[in-house]
Structure formats: structure tokens, C-alpha cells
Structure 1
Amino acid sequence: MSEPFLRVLFPGQARVCGRTLPPLTLWRLACLQAIRSPFLSLDAEEATFTLADLLLAIRAVRTPNQTPPNLRPRIRDVFTLLRFRKSRTYRENHGTRFLDWLALHQLRPELWQNEDAEARCISAPLILTQVAGLMDCGMSHADAWDTAPGYSSWLITSHAERQSDRIQFVSDDDDEIARAIEEQELRSEAEILAQAKLDLPPEAFERWVSARQKKTL
């Protein structure tokens, strides 16, 4: 299995500002969007937010599935603000931890690009598209909303791959495939095939040859 998929499947547990964060789901991601959380557009290295923003985001992602987020500060939040509002180190450390948690739950599969395929723009909201895709895979409406964003992408793409030969995941072995492709312009076709066969495991070599033939058609 690929490392990104395993990290999505087993994200571990995170604690931010003393609160244990549950798994991120499509519903909780929608709650962050509903409150226009600045964390959805922040880079971990260039984050600008307040401690109040962070505590509000934590409350949003601890919302149960299909329940509106409770935005009212709790007593614990008030104490945290009073104690750490002037501590830039506390705010930045826990903010970065929250951003890392968000990113980990949204790792998506990397796919081989088909240059001949025409991209079709989706007009529906991304989260709703993922919910619809999961329901098309057989999930209930409630279960779809309770799925992690990254994992939902893996499920939807895996389902789509079963229906189309135009979709192909990039695997752990494909770093070698990419290196072989980068060198192809410097060698003849026979040299490229011979070197790739030496460098790649049999299954990876067959995938590479198949992808190369499709690309040259």
C-alpha cells in the first residue's frame, strides 16, 4: 500500500489546546467552511490567526455528524484565552498542529495524468460532490457525511478506476517509473525499455509499458 493511503487510514490522534480532536469528516469540514475559518486558507509557515480563531475551529471540528456547530465559547475556552492570549509561542505551536491535522486528513491519491482526456469542470460544491460520490459507491447519506475528506477521495477514485481504464494510481514504485520517463528523450526506444526492465519490478514495469503505450497512441 502507498504511504499516503496508510496515513489517511491511520491518522493517529491529535491534541490541540488540550482538546483531543476527533477524525475530520466531510461534515466537520463543512462546519469549518460555514464559520469561514481562516485555517482553510492558511499555510502552516505563514499562518495569521488569533487564539480565538483556533478555539472556534476546534469547537467546529468537534461537532457530531449532521449537527449544527455550537459556536458559543465554553468556560474552558474563556480560561484558555485569559491564560494564553498573549503567548505567541502557544498560539503558533497549537495552530501549526491544527493545520497539520487538517492536512493529514485530506491527503488525496496521486494519479497518472492522461493528456488526451478532456477535463470536465464540476459546478457543485466540492464537499457535496464527494458526498454524492460516496453515495454512488453505496454509502448512506449519514455515513457519507461521516467520512474523512482524504479517505473519501481514495474510495471515490478507486470506484471510478473500476469503471474506467483512464484512471491509474501512482504507486510507491512509480518514482522509478518517473525517473525512467524523464530520461527517455536521451535514449532510443530500445534502450529505454531495456533500462526500465532492469530498474523496475515486473508489475511496475508492465504498468509503465502500458501507460507509455497509451500515451503514444
Structure 2
Amino acid sequence: MATKLFQGVKEFKKEDFESHKKLFNELKKGQNPHTFFVGCSDSRVVPNVITKALPGELFVVRNIANVIPPYQASEEAAYKCTASALEYAVEYLEVRNIVICGHSNCGGLKALFYDEKKLNKLPIVKKWLSLLDDVKKSVEHIEDTAFREWEIEHLNILKQIDNLTTYPFVEKRYKQGKLNILGWYYIIETGEVYNYNFKKEEFEPIV
């Protein structure tokens, strides 16, 4: 399988790099991304493919279930990785957009409903997923597993948007009109992306 990776690197250099050689030469001076993209680590969800963004346009964080941990002021606060990327994107890079992108068939959200024995084999994942306890509770009453999956995938996007606004530097730039916050839902099998309409309080297809 490693052979495929090496071959991919060769093809990238020969084809993709050469076709964007001028762009890469400009990027050596630094980056100026317009968007901070928070997506799931799922291998089927690739931000640059979904958005057709070129190198230098997206500053990306991917983690299990596209989570933004709520703000913690303490220097000893946990979950520093995602929080530090968010701070860097907003405060230093001054991105104009933040996208929280969830997706269909999310394994991370499915794991919330694993039995305790199975979850205990993944202690680090279990700790991370504890950030979603309230999202889980909001759908536990739903017996239809397919509908429950659909609901939690959408609700989780809205929860992470709420978490975003707990960061003072995000809230400040958002209120100043310098930052757009977008909630997206990507359906793997159809390629459709739905954007959350805050006024209508519903997800609408991007067409």
C-alpha cells in the first residue's frame, strides 16, 4: 500500500505541481487562507475536494466528529490542539470564514452509542466523545436508528457552532461583521452539501 503513496507523490510533482507552479512559488512567501475549515477526520470527507479550493485557501482542522471544544480560559485546559488552530486562524491569519462541516454516515457519532465494553477499548476516543454527551442525550429517545443518525449529524453541527461562539476572539470578530460562520452537512453518496440558514433554522442545499 505504501507503493501507492509514493506513486501519488510522483504524479503530484509531475502533474498537479507543474500545473500550479506559479501558485506554489507565491505560497513560499506565506499563507493567506480565507477560510478555517473544521471537518471530520473521516477519509471520505476531503475539504479541498468538496470546495475545489486551491492550496493556500483553506486552513484545516480535522478531528473525530468535527468537534470544536468549548472555550476554557485556563492555561491547563484540555483539547488544546483544535482550540490553538482556531485561535491561530482567527487571531493571526484573520480568516473571513469558519466552516463547520459534518457529514452522513459519521462513524464518530455512531461510536457514541457503542456499548461501554467496546468504548473502553478506545479510551482516548471515549474521552474525546464525552464532549458530545449533551448532543447524544438529545436524540437518545429516537428508536429509529437511521433517523437518529440523521438527526444527531445535523444537531452536532449546530452544537459546534454554539461552541465556536464561546471563544471571545471569535465572538468579537463575528459581531464586528468580520467573520462568517457556516454550518455544512455533506452527503457522501450524492455529493450534496447543505448550508444552514440561520434565519429559517434549516439546512438548505447549495445549488
Q: TM-score, normalised by structure 1?
A: 0.23
* Structure 1 or 2: more strand by fraction: 2
**Higher Cα radius of gyration:** 1
Which structure exhibits the higher relative contact order, with contacts defined as CA atoms closer than 8 Å and separated by 6 or more residues?
1
